[in-house]
Structure 1
Amino acid sequence: MEDKYENMIIETAEKVFNSMEPRVSPRQLKQLHDAYEFAYNAHKEQRRKSGEPYIIHPISVALIAAKELMLDTNSVTASFLHDIVEDTPYTIDDIRERFGDDVAFLVDAVTKRKKSKYKFSKQVDNYQQLLSSMQFDIRALMVKIADRLHNMRTLSSMRPDKQMKIAGETDYFYAPLANRLGLFDVKTDLENLSFKYRCGMEYTDIVLKLDKDKKDNSARLKLFTDDIEAILHEAGIDAKATVYWRAPYSIWRRMKASNKDFIHLDNRYYIRVTFSGCNGSELSEKTICLYIYSLLTNKYNEKPGSFQNLIDQGKENSYKSINVMLLSHEGIWEDVQICSDKMVEASRFGCMAEVAERAETRNCGNNVSLQNVRKWIEKFRKILKEIAAESQTQGFIESIKSSLYYDDVLAFTPKGEAIILPKGSTALDFAFELHTDIGLHAKYARINSKLMSVRTVLNRGDVVEIGMEDDALPKAEWMQYVQSYKAKRSLRSYFSKELAKQQYQRCTCCLPLPGGETIGFREEDNSITLHRRNCPEAIRLASKFGDNIIYMEFDESPDRKYPVTIYIKAIDRYHLFIDILSKITNDLHLFIDSLKTETNDDITDLTVTFYVHSIRELNSAIQSLYSIPGVDEVRRVQNL
């Protein structure tokens, strides 16, 4: 067994050196070997929860930093050494003496501080320490992301409560952070691993459905992609059309956002058309993308309003492409994204341009333009300074979370100034982004020249003008209609108070049922609140107060029933209503509390509230209702 581990250690270390050797000097390569030897001896007697030698972890983190994140010499060195100060007798001064100030700074930034009393909580204080380093150098965050990615990949050896704590932190903080830094592949890995360990049953269910979906559609999609490649090849464009299926977490998030089940969810996949050149042409990437768009729309019908130019109006996380929906010969709208190989590279290594500026020797590969990521990094650094200066009565992690949004919307002032905001932002967010005083005295908005409420949600490309009056002041309900950190901070400051929080025995947001995947949190008054593992509030709490997590089973009781509400969509027919009622009451012996039905154009929408003992009984009821002729969709209605 020890020989097996020793071979694994040597092989993994060699992969690090082999990955770094083409882009570092001999002196830098020797530094990496020295860091490996130092870490190996420091961790020699330590073991992980899985029983493996502990040294496997820092070497694996170094491999992620070197190969997947393409970090510089000192960052990979710090990856080898990142746990030494925390878990061995060595100090930061020892690191500094052997490897210099820069490596010592990086190791210090990712080393958790041991305190007798924490300002917020142990987890939140660690976030604050880590993020404060970003004001000076983003590489410390990159090392920490590499560390978290390996921890998530090896989470199976941990207890369920520890899995929930680490997965909750990842979903709430690290995955959105990776997304904002433009690290698409890392973000995808983190959020899917988190989903797998938080909600294993839902994860497995989506994986199985995806596998079936791929099998059922592979032949049809191959004909479509082959045709695209043939069209472009004939035009002299070296391009490849590839089908990418969305990851389980992305599917789950889209299902929740759209209130659709898997079968009725649009865009479970997308087709990426990538190119490296056009017959030696020196045309710009944008010109080639538009040329490809023109060639494809000559052959396929384009869905009206589906065209998106994400090259000129790119996202803050560096993603760029031309997007369009095309109607295939089978009558299916296909999501097609047109981009260059360089654009794809940018989506993988978004913030590496920032890292490159601080690296000793760095091959940036494609010299990609990453102005949006650079702007976001500078914007985020400014936000960090503002948060640090704020009253400590406000929530630190909530303030950070406001800036780690998944998607954004681009709007314009009447003079053409582009304003990037979190998706779902309103005209109020726009006003506060322009200036705090504009937000505080906003009275109305003109969106695309139309008079609208300041609470109106913005769409990509909107032109927004804010109307002000000196006597116009913020309303308490505005807090519900803003998304951006700046708007929330400004309103909190104005109202000078925190939102009140309620305590629950059974979370009313996610309404857990016996037999489901649940987790408990011990409140300040020692009471326990039960949450579903995919509850946003549970994820938030797990990222802040992980030590308060309690692993407990929510067992079914024959004497206790819980109300649930389901939505049914069906084709109207004679006796449909009676069949549904009979199935619930006569066949399933469930008590109906309320019922609402509406029929339009022979399509019936029905909402029913009834009582069940457990998640098993609810799932059984849903499956039984699907057996009724004409029923097309059955799903639970809740606040998730």
Structure 2
Amino acid sequence: KMLLTLSDDIRVCLIKIADRLHNMRTLGSMPKHKQMKIASETIYLFAPLAHRLGLYAIKTEFEDLSLKYRFPDEYNQIKQKLADTEPQRLQFIEKFNPPIIEKLKENNIEFEISGRVKSIYSIWKKMKRKQVSFEEIYDLFAIRIVFKPSPLIPEKSQCWHVYSLITDIYKPKPDRIRDWVNIPKANGYEALHCTVMGPEGVWAEVQIRSERMNEIAERGFAAHWKYKAEGKGGEDAGNDRELDQWLAQLREALNSPSEDAVEFMDNFKMNLQVSEIVVFTPDGESRTMPKGATVLDFAYEIHSKIGNRAIGAKVNYKITPLFAEIHTGDQIEILTSQNARPQVEWLDHITTAKARTHIKQFLKRDGENNIVRGQELFEAEMKKLGVPLQARVFRKVLPAYHSAGKDEFYSKLGAGIIRLDGLDKILKQNAASKLMKYWTLQFANPFRFLGTGDDRKKKEGEEGGEQAGYRYVMAECCNPIPGDEVVGFKMDDGRVEVHKKNCHNAVKLSAQHGERIVPAKWSSEKVMSYLAVIEVRGIDRVGILYDLAKIISGELNVNIRELHIHSHDGIFEGTISLYVRSSEDLKMIMDKVRSAKGVEKVNRTEASMVD
């Protein structure tokens, strides 16, 4: 309820955050299970929300108090170690600050300089992320310089001037410069951060802010609007749009909430992501996106219509698929097509709530339209065949079209994924089981032709041509099929290569390597086989369909009933219906298919096949 009021008045949220902060400060009087519940809620939602609104001090207190009640021992250990190492930090600051103070005074800059210790939660999180001890955390504190800006010089220029003065004294670490002056964070935060080599070879972070930037950093949302209303931002007032854009996105998400409260909370949480990247449109307009965002997220960030019609992009002038991750500095042009439309699998490749909301809305509308259209088509076809719509009809039709229920069947039919060709045959037959003719190869024991005493004592049945358990492959030169007269040749790796008897290579091998001949013949048997359906998914490549058919029918000699494969965005997926004799056979087939190059996933679908 509190979140929904954000679309009307965000001050309600500020009051609720203050209320939650008071609850956290008095949490010690609560029972343990209540402490865990409230602390978990706070770290999941309220801390990211406070951060997004620029309330840094409140966000830090939320995190520390949450850690205190969730992991009290670790919290107390870090707190104690911070207290123990405080004299060392003060000693370092006494050496580090004086040269900077002197330099800034020489240049007539009014400023305040202070030290900021890293929060307990931030230290704990870094220890967990990097798997290091407290003693191995080297950036425990930062030096903050807040200057009074000159009215005649832009604040940005003055920030870089202070940076220049500091780096005249201490050498900077080039990959640790954070420029949030030119491109502020989405919560309105502006500052210039740098890491420099201080005395005794210790790296130290320096934060450079104007008084206005500092007030926004400390007071967040309220200070942001104070300066916006007073018009004191100067040229930096244009940066207000970052927070305004986020609030607009938030209101858009809140105006179409999910019926599922948990899903709604998760979608809202996605809007609170704080690790950000900055990317650019073809016209050079910057857009702030969450870290890990894909091309598809960016397409929906531009406009929902562009997202719905997206087929790919040019990232830095190179063609890139929809699901590719984007990075800071990328310039992205979205490629669209009138025939493109959102797919269910798109939901697995997005990180923003905006993209998720629009994809789900489209799929829901499209699904409802397809169901109505599909039902009309099916009822018309059944009327034409003169068959009443009864439960037994769906017991045959649903498995035949690989649908779990009527809505899925109607949706596929309405979308044109399936057709009703051959519906009359489906209604007349039971496809669950079938008496199939299976061909197998039988090999005589090749060693009996060497005439050894031991081999002559073998059982008559084995000498008469029983299968000797060899692994075999079909020769590609003649591609023998069941029923052909064949002969086998034992290869160096122990397998038997099967040729047609009239194959010229077989003649040649017989002449040169007669000792390797393994007599072979086809035999057949009729057994009850059962229909099974497997789903396959993987990286598309030339020849994947041929390889799958070759593995199943060529190598494993299994009858394929239906094979549906489609490719999109470099991915192929589909279903294969085949007749197997047992679950062991099916498992062997799935393992073999899974080993094919490019295949990422093989699953069995549980389709019930009944009369």
Q: TM-score, normalization: structure 2?
A: 0.54
User: Quick one: which of 375, 384, 396 aligns to 2:245?
Assistant: 375
Distance 1:490 1:308, change over 3 A: same
Partner AA of 1:232 in structure 2: L
- Given the alignment of the two structures, is residue 147 of structure 1 paired with residue 19 of structure 2, yes or no? yes
Distance in 2, matches of 1:312 and 1:364, equals: 19
Aligned twin of 1:400: 268
Amino acid at match of 1:341: E
Please give the alpha-carbon distance, in whole angstroms, between the structure 1 residues aligned to 2:174 and 2:322. Answer: 28
Show the counterpart of 2:209. 339
Deviations 1:263-318 (A, max 9, x none): 4445332222211245xx63222121111111122222222233332122001111
Q: Pick from 116, 138, 154: which aligns with 1:284?
A: 154
Contact 1:228 1:241 (C-alpha < 8 Å) held by counterparts: no
What's the offset of the Cα at 1:475? 6.5
Q: Secondary structure at the match of 2:20?
A: helix
Which residue of the partner structure matches residue 182 of structure 1? 54
Measured in 2, the distance between the counterparts of 1:188 and 1:169 equals: 15
Describe the shift of the 1:239–1:398 C-alpha distance in structure 2 as closer, same or farther (beyond 3 A).
same
Q: For residue 187 of structure 1, what is the amino acid of its counterpart?
A: K
The answer to whether structure 1 residue 484 and structure 2 residue 356 are counterparts is no
Deviations 1:410-462 (CA, angstroms, capped at 9, x unpaired): 21112112212223323332122112343345444443345545444433333
Aligned-residue Cα RMSD (Å) equals 3.2
Query: How has the CA–CA distance of structure 1 residues 446 and 255 changed in structure 2, closer, same or farther, with 3 Å as cutoff?
Result: farther
Question: Where do residues 165-176 of structure 1 align in structure 2 (5 Å cutoff)?
Answer: 165-176=37-48
Larger radius of gyration: 2
Helix, strand or coil at the partner of 1:305: helix
Partners of 1:170 and 1:306 in 2: CA distance: 31
**How high is the sequence identity, in percent, across the aligned residues?**
34
Structure-2 separation of matches of 1:212 and 1:291:
36
Report 1:122-521 matches (<5 A).
Answer: 129-265=1-137, 267-277=139-149, 282-352=152-222, 369=237, 370-387=240-257, 390-392=258-260, 395-469=263-337, 478-493=346-361
Deviation at 1:403, TM superposition (A): 1.0
**Deviation digits for residues 603-632 of structure 1, max 9, x if unmatched?**
xxxxxxxxxxxxxxxxxxxxxxxxxxxxxx
1:495-519 deviation line (CA, Å, top 9, x unaligned): 669xxxxxxxxxxxxxxxxxxxxxx
Post-superposition CA distance 1:95-116 (Å, at most 9, x none): xxxxxxxxxxxxxxxxxxxxxx
Determine the structure 1 residue equivalent to 2:524: none
- Any conservation in 2 of the 1:326–1:333 contact (CA below 8 Å)? yes
Deviations 1:85-133 (A, max 9, x none): xxxxxxxxxxxxxxxxxxxxxxxxxxxxxxxxxxxxxxxxxxxx11222
Post-superposition offset of 1:395: 1.1
- Look up the SS of the partner of 1:431 in the other structure: helix
User: Greater share of strand residues, 1 or 2?
Assistant: 2
Q: CA deviation at 1:471?
A: 5.8
Cα distance, 1:474 vs structure 2: 5.7
User: 3-state SS of the aligned residue for 1:274?
Assistant: strand
SS in 2 for 1:330: helix
Counterpart of 1:114?
none
Amino acid at match of 1:275: F
Q: Deviations over 1:215-238 (max 9, x none)?
A: 333312331122222211111112
Task: Look up the equivalent residue of 1:419 and give its one-letter code.
Answer: R
* Matches of 1:141 and 1:429, distance apart in 2: 27
Q: Classify the secondary structure of the residue corresponding to 1:182.
A: coil
Count of residues paired in the alignment: 362
Amino acid at match of 1:334: A
Cα distance change on mapping 1:196 and 1:408 into 2, 3 Å = same
CA shift for structure 1 position 343: 0.8
Between the aligned partners of 1:443 and 1:265, the Cα distance in structure 2 is: 45
CA contact (8 A) 1:350 1:373 kept: no
Q: Deviations over 1:545-601 (max 9, x none)?
A: xxxxxxxxxxxxxxxxxxxxxxxxxxxxxxxxxxxxxxxxxxxxxxxxxxxxxxxxx
Structure 2 unaligned blocks of 5 or more: 366-611
Structure 1 residues 455 and 232: CA distance shift in structure 2, 3 A = farther
Describe the superposition over 1:38-73 as per-residue Cα deviations: whole angstroms up to 9, x where unpaired: xxxxxxxxxxxxxxxxxxxxxxxxxxxxxxxxxxxx
- What TM-score, normalized to structure 1? 0.51
8 A contact 2:311–2:336 mirrored in 1: yes
Shift of 1:477: 5.7
Q: Tell me which amino acid in the other structure corresponds to 1:307.
A: I
Q: 1:163 Cα shift?
A: 0.6
1:333 shift after superposition? 3.0
Q: Distance in 2 between matches of 1:140 and 1:393?
A: 20
For the structure 1 residues 331 and 353, does the alpha-carbon distance in structure 2 shift closer, same or farther, using more than 3 Å as the test?
A: closer
Question: Aligned pair in 2 of structure 1 residues 451, 381: CA closer, same or farther (>3 Å)?
Answer: same
Q: Which amino acid is the alignment partner of residue 418 of structure 1? A: S
